[in-house]
Amino acid sequence: MAGDLSILSEQVLGDMTARYLIDPVGRVGLWLYPTAMSDLAQRRPTVANESWVRSNSKARPAMTVEPLVHVKVSGDDEPPQLGAGRTLLWSSSIDRFRLLDQRVEAKTVVTTLYDDTGLQIKHRLSAGFQGLTVQSDTVFENNSSSPVRLELLTSFSLSGITPYATDDAPCRLRAHRFRSVWSAEGRMVTESIEQLHLERSWAGNMNFSERFGQVGSMPVRGWFPTVLVEDTEAKVVWGARLAIPTSWQIELGRRFDDLVLAGGLADREFGHWTKTVEPGQSFTTPQAWLTCVAGSVDEACDRLISVDVPAVEAQPAIEQDLPIIYNDYCTSWGEPREDQLLAIADRIAPLGVRYLVIDAGWYMPMNSGAHWATTLGDWRAHPNRFPNGLAGTVAAIRKRGLVPGIWIEPEHVAKDSDAFAETDHMLTRDGKLLTLGLRRAWNLHDPYVEAYIDDRVIGMLGKAGFGYVKVDYSETLGIGVDHPDGLGEGLRRQGEGAHAMFDRIREALPNLVIELVSAGGHRMEASFLQRAAMSSYSDAHETIEIPIIAAAVHRLILPRQSQIWAVLRQDDSFQRMNYSLAATFLGRMCLSGDILDLDESQLSIVKYAIKLYRKAVPAIKYGKSRIKGDIGPSWRHPRGWQGVVRTTEDDGIVVIHTFEQTPQEFFVQLPGPDWRIVEVLTPLVVNINGDHLEVVGASVFDSQVVLVRRSVV
């Protein structure tokens, strides 16, 4: 190793090696690299090899041990070297801690750091599902005689990026992040480390950081909690994904040659978070998943979302073949009623649809002038919409061979509900009732609220006999809510309350299918995704960018969990219907719209699409996706074409959409030769030529779904 650094240990976790470094005073750092690429570069100890260096500069260090855990304790000095206000990494609190021991306990590497007052930090690292990731978290233990107030405690901190360069790796490192706004989730943004202005300074030891994340209770608002760093010369990618339901942050940081990648709960500066740990108590950070792969960005993304597979496989058995959903929202527009729902049930049952979901508005009176968004919270079906009660409607839907579902937003109440006046049980900020536009938010740790939700939500679902629930969350709590430790800790605790609510639903109703939605995809984050069968991918329901968004989130959510809507209208052309239906092959098919008004020829298109979808299920569940084509910079006004190739070893699907200025002919790269076409959705002509799928005669807003199979040689 360079300088006075040495290797503490090397631990093989799956197909990766975790290298722990240590310096003479006991500071510990963590590198991660593919075990198959263990021929690491000999790192320079100083910058003496740079041509500009004069004799009095030769001793400037090129690298150091970057901390395994970053921590900031209130009262300790702020980060030096222009860091304060920009980052809490490298605070003086780190200098307190040195290595106590490192052990492997139940296949988990536990590295314990300590200080002289009785504080300990335990960093834990273990192999994830199929050895494709490592799971990282941190435990802070207060064995001193005084309370300690934390301002930062990271879930993970990687350094040594990149171990394949002898120097500071100029012009070879790129960061990939994923933006998210309402109805446009998942746009990948790629920037070089130079573009992020994270080159090391000539002197080193200056605290540079690109800190980003989300503040509030919608964890996928602004950014997804995922980041990747790519060494474009070594062809190695590092990735991190956080499991945090509220405010979070990730930092790309630099002092010396190494790039540092760290993240976890949003800290005091970014997320208004502090946490008091009393003597004899401990605090554990949320989990993070890390990966490192000799391969592509897409391969790294595949690994990070693979951690959700065990939880998805444990969902109710009915979910295994990815049943088709019909949601009434774009039919009734928030005004469902029993007679219309039963007519829909009669129409969709013969098509092969399995779930019929009653969306918002079922609780408000008809012809009252009320709106579904202002009346949510009491969760009692109005008798003039459901004269036989919800149980009667549910029984009638089940009699038609369908599984009934219902929409609900249990964490909020709206201004025209009776519950809106239950102010003693609502969240506050600065001692004042917190009102979020139309909504207020229950305090999920209040026993009254727990009993209310258990009765009005969980009890209602069970008594009525629902088999499916769509759990919405349509407003953020912002910077936080009141708590003795401050707004950020109050928000974190509310996130724990949300987890507990989902867990109570699952415990009470183990066969209930749970759909996650948060004004579209704002809760598509690991800790929520692992508590649900699927999630709404977006609130984009009738727009041309649906296939673009649906493809983008393949890097961030398992397609088998990504519910995509095809809203079908009476005046849709066959081409428009196919465009909408084809997009649903990028995830879970959900239908809505004018199903009662479609003619027989239109219904036959829907029925055929469902039949083809059933054949595509293995590829949707188990395939790997690669996005091809060029759509230009705009999602709202795309130009060109997109092809999503999703394949297993033997089977696959190719989903094609064209936009303005599409070429009439183009080629979609397949993963190797020997593929043949099994079946297609639309009249658009396609042929396989070697390792390419050739598209012929494409027009604007055309589409195709191609089922392919590898020929047996």
pLDDT band at 50 (very low <50, low <70, confident <90, very high): confident
**Could you read off the pLDDT of 303-327 as tens digits, one per residue?**
999 999 999 999 999 999 999 999 9
Using CA atoms, how far apart are residues 683 and 681, in angstroms rounded to an integer? 7
- The region of weakest confidence among 200-204, 219-223, 537-541, 579-583 is 200-204
Query: For 685-690, what is the mean pLDDT?
Result: 96
**Could you read off the pLDDT of 326-369 as tens digits, one per residue?**
999 999 999 999 999 999 999 999 999 999 999 999 998 777 77
Cis peptide upstream of residue 543 (ω within 30 degrees of 0)? no
Q: pTM to 2 decimals?
A: 0.96
DSSP 455: I
Beta-carbon-side half-sphere exposure of residue 416 (alpha carbons within 13 Å)? 13
Give CA torsion, residues 389, 391, 397, 402, to 10 deg: 150
Using CA atoms, how far apart are residues 572 and 277, in angstroms rounded to an integer? 60
pLDDT band at 139 (very low <50, low <70, confident <90, very high): very high
Q: What is the pLDDT of residue 54?
A: 62
* Residue 632 CB contacts under 8 Å (≥ 6 apart), including other chains: 638, 639, 640, 659
pLDDT band at 56 (very low <50, low <70, confident <90, very high): low
**Could you read off the pLDDT of 483-527 as tens digits, one per residue?**
999 999 999 999 999 999 999 999 999 999 999 999 999 999 999
* Residue 255 CB contacts under 8 Å (≥ 6 apart), including other chains: 64, 66, 81, 90, 200, 204, 205, 206, 207, 208
Element (H, E) at 676: strand 675-680
Residue 301 near residue 556 (C-beta atoms within 8 A): yes
Q: To the nearest whole number, what is the mean pLDDT of the chain? A: 96
**Could you read off the pLDDT of 655-667 as tens digits, one per residue?**
999 999 999 999 9
Using CA atoms, how far apart are residues 320 and 609, in angstroms rounded to an integer? 19
Query: For 638-647, what is the mean pLDDT?
Result: 98
Using CA atoms, how far apart are residues 292 and 12, in angstroms rounded to an integer? 12
Using CA atoms, how far apart are residues 546 and 541, in angstroms rounded to an integer? 7
Give the 3-state secondary structure of 182-195. CCEEEEEEEEECCC
Q: What is the pLDDT of residue 234?
A: 98
**Could you read off the pLDDT of 175-185 as tens digits, one per residue?**
999 999 999 99
- The region of weakest confidence among 9-18, 78-87, 163-172 is 78-87
**Could you read off the pLDDT of 274-304 as tens digits, one per residue?**
999 999 999 999 999 999 999 999 999 999 9
pLDDT band at 83 (very low <50, low <70, confident <90, very high): confident
Q: Does residue 125 have a pLDDT over 90?
A: yes
Q: What is the pLDDT of residue 582?
A: 98
With a pLDDT cut of 90, the percent of the chain lying above it is: 93
Q: Does residue 669 have a pLDDT over 80?
A: yes
| N-terminal to C-terminal alpha carbon distance within the chain | 50
**Could you read off the pLDDT of 366-425 as tens digits, one per residue?**
777 789 999 999 999 999 999 999 999 999 999 999 999 999 999 999 999 999 999 999
Using CA atoms, how far apart are residues 180 and 160, in angstroms rounded to an integer? 29
Paired residues of 1 in beta bridges: none
Give CA torsion, residues 294, 562, 589, 457, to 10 deg: 160
Q: What is the pLDDT of residue 46?
A: 86
Q: Does residue 154 have a pLDDT over 80?
A: yes
Burial class (CB in 10 A: 0-12, 13-18, 19+), 693: buried
In the structure encoding, which two tokens stand for residue 451, read together?
Answer: 């009993």
Residue 540 near residue 520 (C-beta atoms within 8 A): yes
Q: What are the Cα distances from residue 416, in Å, to 371, 373, 384, 440?
A: 9, 9, 18, 11
Q: What is the pLDDT of residue 81?
A: 77
Instruction: Identify the residue whose tokens are 């979609």.
Output: 668
Query: For 240-250, what is the mean pLDDT?
Result: 98
Q: Does residue 450 have a pLDDT over 90?
A: yes
430 by DSSP, 3-state: which? Answer: coil
Q: What is the pLDDT of residue 51?
A: 65
Q: Does residue 221 have a pLDDT over 80?
A: yes
* Residue 526 CB contacts under 8 Å (≥ 6 apart), including other chains: 225, 241, 242, 243, 287, 289, 307, 308
Q: What is the pLDDT of residue 1?
A: 63
Q: Does residue 671 have a pLDDT over 90?
A: yes
Q: Does residue 609 have a pLDDT over 90?
A: yes
Query: For 108-126, what is the mean pLDDT?
Result: 98
**Could you read off the pLDDT of 184-211 as tens digits, one per residue?**
999 999 999 999 999 999 888 889 999 9
Q: What is the pLDDT of residue 53?
A: 62
pLDDT band at 554 (very low <50, low <70, confident <90, very high): very high
In the structure encoding, which two tokens stand for residue 256, read together?
Answer: 């010396």
Q: What is the pLDDT of residue 4?
A: 79
